[in-house]
């Protein structure tokens, strides 16, 4: 199921070069099964200037034909995956490798396209203030031929020490002075896209709203919050739950905790509470995946929460301020049985999720594309194959394995046969 | 006139597609000599378009050197409205084949000056060298394109107000809300179609039977505008059994006999490119 390219002028290899002039070329991807409008449809995909275009006005108004026709061999064409929580990979740890952060992010961005990820939020775990001050401004805004960077996810340090998981306790802080504390701790809020915090530790009722006003998504996690704590935070503007089930109180029938937000009646009308869930086959039991999926399917977002060992072999590596160990396909804090993050790439998470829940192929894909885009409010540009959106897409076979990855209409990865 | 009577409406679409393919391929169009095709919309032509797309995909026919002129388009309907004829042609035909966008001509029902748009369309047909084969359907009231009863039989492309019959037939496509149904359309005239070298009319269904009877067994009459093609040297009508229900047995036997005797049908059925 390889792609076949036919261009009116130049070599097919031109599609893989990232030369600006080429961007004006009109590309027509034929013989595809597009994921569009919550269905799989037999339609061609038209791309120009790094965007998905509507072919009808191109035909009737511009009277133009495609420069290149790319036969997708019947592959499923889906929007590129979006990962909202990823701590590193390929030996890189975003929170730890301060000196080489630019190269580190670039390496991860280029590695991620192999698993079909076209946009991500580099995630920093609970770290000392200095680390944030150094790292945040140095994370690149974009990486050529790599997955796009949507902004930074700061997971901590305003979490509950009782639910720290693998985060270093001595770096955990409290929000004493509202927004000023956050600015002091992080240095600047400019590059931040998502903040995970424990709502029961937030005393100032204005803080969440102020963060949301700045376009930051407030996520709840690493928390001992009761359901009503969670509901309060949601009413103040929180819209995401960080890795559901992990680092929070378990569901209890008289106080469902944060898990209860999936069925809460206190969520403001018209608002959706999204939740990240790690479906690496380790962090969440398949039955738990099914419960979450059945309870609140429109809010489900697949995240990898992948750590530096993603893409690496068995052995000892580093995470945050602590060493970790990969054994038997899982990652633990070295010397303990505490899981400290997943190493399953996103395409594997999608496959595992689809198999565990028996959901439709379209839904499994939307959980990793449309939903994260909606959560961040960027669904006009990312997460869909709608006209006008960025041409970040992937070709998948029927087993949902990645055949090729395209960013802004340029092929950045082709899986070897 | 040739009347080809086939069993089902699907057969009509398939036969018509084979005929179009044969005509294009026999013509051997090139950059210096385009094949000019007049096209209709509707459920019967839909079957023909599907077959033509298949033939294109099988490499049996190319539209690279074909120019097309559609018969009609609603006035005031957005081009991307699901009922517009631009929408129909794009989704059911043009986007699946290799036709050059600049060789496609469909009247623009949203043009600022509708009369100029119609006159311009006539000029474009003239510049293209005239239509080689004009394909059309027939309304229950015997109209060709939107040449409603009472249309001049020598009319040209112009703005027409739609008859009540037509509005009612269309209502189901506009949620049965008469206020949403377009009241006017731009249409080629009877004279415009008569100018073409060959006319092929597709007629399927019992509800078209009376119109077919009026068109071929009665006189030339502007109340049944398809009857004008009795005076065209090369009229070809393709219909299914149901559409013959109002014809005389004698007429049906005559034309079925021709088909059988000449083996024309089977020759064309087995046509290979």
For chain A, what is the mean pLDDT?
92
Q: What's the N-to-C CA distance of chain A in angstroms?
A: 10
Residue ranges for the known binding site of A for substrate are: 166, 246-247, 254, 283, 339-341
Closest chain B C-alpha to A64 CA, distance in angstroms: 6
Residue set of the binding site of A:
155, 166, 222, 243, 246-247, 254, 283, 339-341
Contacts of B146 (CB under 8 A, 6+ apart): B71, B72, B160, B162, B166, B185, B186, B187
Per-residue pLDDT averaged across B199-227, rounded? Answer: 97
- Does residue B39 have a pLDDT over 50? yes
Residues from chain B contacting residue A58 (CB–CB below 8 Å) = 101
Residue A305 annotated to the active site: yes
pLDDT tens per residue across span A5-15:
877 766 556 56
Gap from B101 CA to chain A (nearest CA, Å): 5
Tens digits of residue pLDDT in B71-103: 999 999 999 999 999 999 999 999 999 999 999
CB-based contact, A74 to chain B, within 8 Å: no
Secondary structure (DSSP) of B245-260: TTS-HHHHHHHHHHHH
Which of chain B's residues have a Cβ under 8 Å away from the Cβ of A44? 95
**CATH top-level class of A4-79+382-414:** mainly beta
- Closest-approach residue (CA) in chain A for B80: A56
| Residue B67: its H or E element | strand B66-70
- Is the distance from CB of B243 to CB of B9 less than 8 angstroms? no
Q: In the block, which residue shows the tokens 């009508």?
A: B237
- Residues of chain A whose pLDDT is less than 70? 1, 9-23, 319-321
> Prior bond to A157 cis, omega within 30?
yes
| Closest approach of B102 to chain A, Cα-based (Å) | 5
Q: Is A65 at the interface with chain B, CB within 8 A?
A: yes
Q: Which residues of B are catalytic, by number?
A: 72, 141, 143, 148
**Which pTM does this prediction carry?**
0.90
pLDDT for residue B130 is more than 80? yes
Helix (H, G, I), strand (E, B), or coil: what is residue B240?
strand
Higher pLDDT, B112 or A8: B112
- How many CA atoms, within 13 angstroms, populate the side-chain half-sphere of residue A81? 34
Per-residue confidence band for B271, with pLDDT thresholds at 50, 70 and 90: very low
Q: Are B69 and A31 in contact (CB under 8 A)?
A: no
For residue B186, name the pLDDT band (cuts at 50, 70, 90). very high
The answer to whether residue B208 is domain-embedded is yes
- Domain with B21 in it: 2-261
Q: Which residue in B101, B104, B110, B124 has the most chain A C-beta atoms within 10 A of its own C-beta, making it the best mutation to test that interface? A: B101
- Residue B270's pLDDT band (cuts 50, 70, 90): very low
Rounded CA-CA distance A346/A199 in Å is 28
B81 touches chain A (CB under 8 A): no
The pair of three-digit structure tokens given for residue A156, joined into one six-digit string: 């901590």
Number of domains chain B is built from:
1
Domain range list for chain A: 4-79+382-414, 81-376
With a cut of 80, say whether residue B45 has pLDDT above it: yes
Asked, for residue B139, whether it belongs to a domain, the answer is yes
**Spatial distance between the Cα atoms of A165 and A98, rounded to a whole number of angstroms:** 22
Q: Which of A97, A229, A305, A347 is labelled catalytic?
A: A305
pLDDT at A3: 79
Q: Taking each helix axis as running N to C, give the angle between helix A286-295 and helix A346-357, from 0 to 180 degrees, rounded to the nearest 10.
A: 80
pLDDT digits (tens, 9 = 90+) for A209-247: 999 999 999 999 999 999 999 999 999 999 999 999 999
- Considering only alpha carbons, which residue of chain B is nearest residue A59? B101
For residue B13, give the CATH number of its domain.
3.40.50.1360
CB B249 within 8 A of CB B174: no
Please state the ipTM of this predicted complex.
Answer: 0.90
Instruction: Kindly determine whether residue B102 and residue A55, on different chains, have CB atoms separated by under 8 Å.
Output: no
What was the pLDDT predicted at A57?
A: 96
Look at the domain A81-376 and name its fold.
Answer: TIM Barrel (3.20.20)
**A55 vs B: CB within 8 A:** yes
Six-digit token pair at A46? Answer: 């038209």
């Amino acid at each position: 199921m390889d792609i076949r390219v036919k261009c009116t002028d130049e070599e097919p290899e031109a599609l893989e070069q990232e030369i600006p002039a080429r961007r004006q070329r009109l590309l027509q991807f034929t013989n595809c099964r597009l994921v569009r409008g919550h269905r799989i449809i037999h339609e061609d995909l038209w791309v120009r200037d790094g965007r998905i275009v509507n072919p009808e006005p191109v035909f009737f108004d511009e009277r133009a034909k495609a420069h290149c026709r790319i036969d997708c061999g019947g592959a499923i064409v889906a929007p590129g995956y979006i990962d909202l929580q990823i701590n590193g990979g390929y030996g890189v740890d975003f929170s730890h490798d301060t000196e080489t952060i630019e190269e580190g992010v670039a390496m991860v961005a280029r590695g991620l396209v192999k698993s079909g990820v076209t946009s991500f939020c580099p995630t920093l775990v609970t770290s000392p203030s200095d680390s944030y001050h150094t790292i945040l401004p140095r994370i690149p805004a974009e990486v050529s031929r790599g997955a796009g960077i949507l902004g930074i996810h700061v997971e901590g340090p305003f979490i509950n020490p009782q639910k720290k998981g693998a985060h270093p306790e001595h770096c955990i802080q409290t929000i004493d002075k509202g927004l000023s504390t956050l600015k002091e701790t992080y240095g600047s809020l400019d590059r931040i896209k998502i903040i995970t915090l424990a709502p029961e530790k937030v005393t100032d009722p204005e803080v969440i709203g102020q963060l949301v006003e700045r376009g930051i998504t407030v996520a709840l996690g690493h928390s001992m919050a009761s359901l009503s704590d969670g509901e309060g935070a949601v009413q103040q503007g929180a819209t995401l739950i960080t890795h559901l089930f992990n680092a929070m109180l378990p569901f209890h029938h008289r106080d469902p905790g944060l898990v209860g937000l999936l069925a809460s009646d206190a969520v403001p009308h018209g608002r959706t509470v999204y939740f990240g869930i790690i479906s690496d086959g380790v962090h969440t039991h398949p039955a738990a995946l099914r419960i979450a999926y059945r309870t609140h399917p429109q809010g489900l977002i697949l995240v990898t929460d992948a750590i530096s060992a993603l893409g690496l072999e068995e052995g000892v590596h580093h995470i945050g301020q602590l060493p970790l160990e990969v054994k038997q396909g899982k990652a633990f804090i070295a010397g303990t049985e505490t899981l400290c993050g997943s190493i399953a790439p996103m395409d594997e998470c999608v496959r595992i999720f689809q198999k565990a829940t028996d959901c439709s192929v379209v839904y499994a894909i939307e959980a990793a594309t449309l939903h994260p885009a909606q959560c961040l409010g960027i669904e006009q540009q990312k997460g869909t194959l709608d006209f006008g959106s960025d041409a970040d897409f992937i070709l998948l076979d029927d087993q949902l394995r990645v055949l090729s990855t395209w960013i802004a209409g340029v092929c950045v990865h082709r899986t070897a046969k | 006139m040739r009347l080809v009577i086939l069993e089902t409406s699907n057969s009509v679409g398939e036969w018509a597609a084979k005929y179009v393919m044969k005509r294009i391929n026999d013509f051997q169009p090139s950059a210096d000599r385009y094949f000019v095709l007049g096209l209709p919309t509707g459920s019967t032509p839909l079957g023909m378009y599907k077959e033509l797309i298949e033939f294109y995909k099988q490499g049996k026919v190319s539209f690279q050197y074909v120019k097309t002129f559609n018969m009609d388009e609603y006035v005031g309907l957005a081009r991307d409205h699901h009922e517009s004829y631009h929408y129909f042609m794009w989704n059911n035909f043009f986007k699946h084949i290799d036709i050059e966008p600049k060789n496609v001509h469909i009247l623009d029902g949203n043009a600022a000056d509708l009369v100029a748009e119609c006159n311009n369309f006539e000029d474009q047909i003239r510049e293209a060298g005239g239509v080689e084969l004009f394909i059309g359907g027939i309304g229950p009231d015997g109209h060709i394109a939107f040449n409603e009863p009472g249309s001049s039989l020598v009319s040209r492309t112009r703005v027409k107000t739609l008859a009540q019959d037509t509005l009612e037939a269309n209502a189901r496509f506009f949620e049965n809300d008469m206020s949403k149904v377009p009241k006017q359309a731009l249409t080629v005239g009877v004279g415009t179609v008569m100018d073409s070298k060959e006319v092929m009319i597709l007629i399927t269904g019992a509800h078209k039977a009376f119109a077919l009877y009026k068109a071929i067994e009665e006189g030339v009459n502007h109340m049944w505008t398809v009857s004008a093609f009795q005076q065209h040297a090369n009229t070809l009508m393709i219909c299914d059994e149901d559409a013959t229900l109002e014809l005389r047995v004698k007429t049906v036997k005559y034309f079925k006999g021709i088909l059988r005797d000449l083996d024309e049908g089977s020759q064309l059925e087995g046509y290979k490119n």
